[in-house]
Structure 1
Amino acid sequence: MTVVVAYKYAANPQDASVGADGVVDWSRAKAAVSEYDPVAVQLARTVAGDSEVVGISVGTAAIASSMAKKSAMSKGLDRGVVVADDATQGWNATQTAAALAGLVGRVDGADLLVTGDSSIDDGARMMSALTAGFLGWPCFQEVTAVEKTADGYALTQAITGGTRTISVTGPVVVAATSDAVPVKVPSMKEILAAGKKPVEVVSVEDVAPVEIGVTVTGRSKPAPKARKNQVFTGESAVADLVAALRTNGVL
């Protein structure tokens, strides 16, 4: 058994700014491992035990830098396999998912792919499902726990009103909830040791990229909602407010 974790080395939105036209400026944002991904790594580490946990990622040349490697590997990964090419800068989610699936295929014995709940930049929450589609594996989101079974995995998934347990035969992709497991903060010793862990850089051509064109044709701010500007006063103010809310379908 080998557990694979997809992580993203991305710009932190806390450093970004939004212009008057609604466009996000990422030019001053510093890159880091997405804050949701350490949970995925820790969950994978819990499931794998003494087995190998391999990190995979697709991004620009920055993810092959020494800082990026230490940041990712110190979270609990044993090694990494990444596509680090500036050509991926303009890739859409489908292209990235296809490349991630290609990286999974390069990991011998991989039968579980764990992702974070979302990414800190786009936050689309669809990378797990897209990657599973290219792999031909089932995908489950909102997963809070994973256990290895004789013929697959037992998953605990958060649903409305509680949780449910799912038995999966064969390989599977899971997206971990942000609170699935406590995240261990790496020590300085672990960060330094992470720099010695192997990270294989794979070329774009070796992961069979797909040509899916997606173009942003425009942007606009949400239309402002008209306000009624109703003010209720006097002894009947509360009753009048409740009546107005009911009339407008709020209550």
Structure 2
Amino acid sequence: MKIVVAYKWAPNPQDADVAPDGSVDLGRAKWAVSEYDPVALELARQLADVTGGEVIGLTVGPAAIDTPLARKAALSRGLDRLVLVADDALDGVDGTRVAAVLAAAVRRIGDVDVVLAGDSSIDVAAGQVALTLAGTLGWLGLAAVGAVRPADAGAGLVVERELPAGTAVVSVPTPVVLAATADAVVPRVAGMKDILAAAKKPVEVLSLAELAVAEPGAVLTTLATAKPGGAERTARIFDGSDAAAAATELVGALRQSGAL
């Protein structure tokens, strides 16, 4: 089984500078594997260990994603090899464009059975790329995946989905794109042995020209940014001279507001 993990090497918004107009400057932010993607990496490794498969990391972005630190951070988490689409033309592009490039790379890798992705990226958090990728490839796509294993008989996978109504267990054919929940598994912590081994694993770096990705039919343009509005808060002071009466009044007010 050939498993691809689509992950993102991204700046951490916690390190960002926010201007008075709400615009965000990530120039000083530290880059890392996006917060939820290690879960997808771990799910892929566990599935590959059961099936005897291969796990291939795949990420796209500007040239800044191709650094020794970025390579080791991903390869030390259980990947067998890595494919990078590093091109400055991909800096800041929208999720539809990212999905198109990922789809082209998946086709180039060839014979892929499963693509796993995290719940969302740490910097944009739109949560749209995985299912857009599935649509671009013409594959089945499932979100909210909490567990995955090979089917007991025949081809395909058994997938557990964590839905608002409960856990749904479904049988799915391959190829398929799966987006994992943020808490599906506990990701492994890379040790020194993993980090040293990462330096010896194969890495393929591709450009957009090599993938021949068609220009997008529509481009997302940010028209404006603004700070989120502050929540309205109700301030009420109760007379504490009679503690019992004040407590009764407080409970009544909380019930009236729906807090109790």
Do these two structures clear the TM 0.5 threshold for a shared fold by scoring above it?
yes
Residue in structure 2 matching 1:111, options 104, 113, 119: 113
- Cα distance in structure 1, aligned partners of 2:4 and 2:212: 16
What is the deviation of 1:82? 1.7
Pick from 217, 221, 224: which aligns with 1:218? 224
Q: State the partner residue of 1:172.
A: 176
- Per-residue deviation, 1:56: 0.7
* C-alpha distance in 1 between matches for 2:212 and 2:44: 23
Quickly say closer, same or farther: Cα 1:246–1:92, change in 2 above 3 A. same
Q: Pairwise mapping of residues 1-251 of structure 1 onto structure 2 (< 5 A)?
A: 1-49=1-49, 50-149=52-151, 150-160=154-164, 162-205=166-209, 206-211=211-216, 212-233=218-239, 234=242, 235-248=244-257, 250=259
In 2, Cα distance between the equivalents of 1:226 and 1:35? Answer: 31
More deviation in 174-183 or 234-243? 234-243
Q: CA deviation at 1:30?
A: 1.4
Deviation at 1:229, TM superposition (A): 2.5
Distance 1:91 1:63 in 2: 14
Higher mean alpha-carbon deviation, 101-110 vs 204-213, is at 204-213
Distance 1:184 1:207, change over 3 A: farther
* Alpha-carbon spacing, 1:94–1:240, altered in 2? closer, same or farther (3 Å): same
Aligned pair count reads: 251
Q: 1:222, 1:87 → 2: CA distance?
A: 30
Q: Deviations over 1:124-167 (max 9, x none)?
A: 11211111111111221221111122221110111225311011
Moved more, 215-224 or 135-144: 215-224
**In the aligned structure 2, how far is the partner of 1:66 from the partner of 1:118?**
24
1:81-105 deviation per Cα after TM superposition (whole angstroms, max 9, x unaligned)? 2210111113111101111111111
Q: 1:219 to 1:232 in 2, by over 3 A?
A: same
Which 10-residue stretch deviates more, 240-249 or 15-24? 240-249
**Alpha-carbon spacing, 1:226–1:64, altered in 2? closer, same or farther (3 Å):** closer
Q: 1:106: Cα distance to partner?
A: 1.4
Deviation at 1:202, TM superposition (A): 1.6
Give the alignment's TM-score, normalised by structure 1.
0.91
**Separation (CA, whole Å) in 1 of partners of 2:231 and 2:70:** 44
| Alpha-carbon distance in structure 1 between the residues aligned to 2:106 and 2:226 | 38
Structure 2: give runs of 5+ residues left out of the alignment: none
Letter in 1 for 2:160: T
Root-mean-square deviation (Å): 1.9
In the TM superposition, residue 170 of structure 1 has moved relative to its aligned partner by 2.6
Identical counterparts, % of pairs: 48
Q: Using a 3 Å threshold, how does the CA distance of structure 1 residues 215 and 229 change in structure 2: closer, same or farther? A: same
Taking a change above 3 Å as real, the CA distance of residues 227 and 172 of structure 1, as seen in their structure-2 partners, is: same
